[in-house]
Amino acid sequence: MIEVEGLDDLEHALSRLAGEVSQDTLAYYGKRHMSTKVEKEAKILVRKRTRTLQRSITTQAVKTADGVEIRTGTNMEYARFLEYGTGRAGAESGIEPPADYQYGPSPGMGPKPYLRPAWDKEKNRVLSGLIEDLDEIVSRVAASRWDSGVYLLAQDAGGD
């Protein structure tokens, strides 16, 4: 018969890990990486006529039914027109807008995207940063209990 010692400690460590990697924790680290990377890059790329749009770009953590979404964007009405273009010039640009976006029949203007290029440039750094943060959390929780040597397999000489 094989006996596993320390399962209570393991269960405690796993529940502690679940607490440490909560939706709030993911939101915190996700927002930190998005704001220091994607938001910063979008502010560099955006057209800066008055800097109003540039100053309005922010990153927010939004709770959804599926968990947490980290969003970098702006609440300025005209921001969509810059990102996707307008009229025929926007429609012919090849940039795919959201489903609710209408280009209209006018000649319009071509897009001057800043959010999508910022995400495309920084997404690997954002994801790598999140992985590093989560790895650090898991390592910290694991080290607090697993280094104590309580998880032993013991062979019982009494048979099965």
- The arithmetic mean of pLDDT across residues 126-152, rounded, is 72
pTM for the model? 0.74
pLDDT digits (tens, 9 = 90+) for 105-126: 999 999 999 999 999 999 999 9
Asked whether residue 16 carries a pLDDT value surpassing 50, the answer given is: yes
pLDDT of residue 117: 96
- The arithmetic mean of pLDDT across residues 126-150, rounded, is 74
Domain boundaries of the chain, sorted by first residue:
2-75+114-128
User: For residue 76, which of 50, 110, 97, 107 has the smallest C-alpha distance?
Assistant: 50
> How far apart, in whole angstroms, are the C-alpha atoms of residue 54 and residue 57?
6
pLDDT of residue 73: 95
pLDDT of residue 27: 85
37-60 burial string, b = 16+ CB within 10 Å, else e?
bbbbbbbebbeeeeeebbeebbbe
Average pLDDT, the chain: 83
pLDDT of residue 3: 60
Block residue for tokens 């790895």: 135
Cβ atoms of 105 and 77 closer than 8 Å: no
Alpha-carbon separation of residue 87 from 7, 37, 82, 84, 125 (angstroms): 64, 31, 12, 10, 35
Cβ atoms of 90 and 113 closer than 8 Å: no
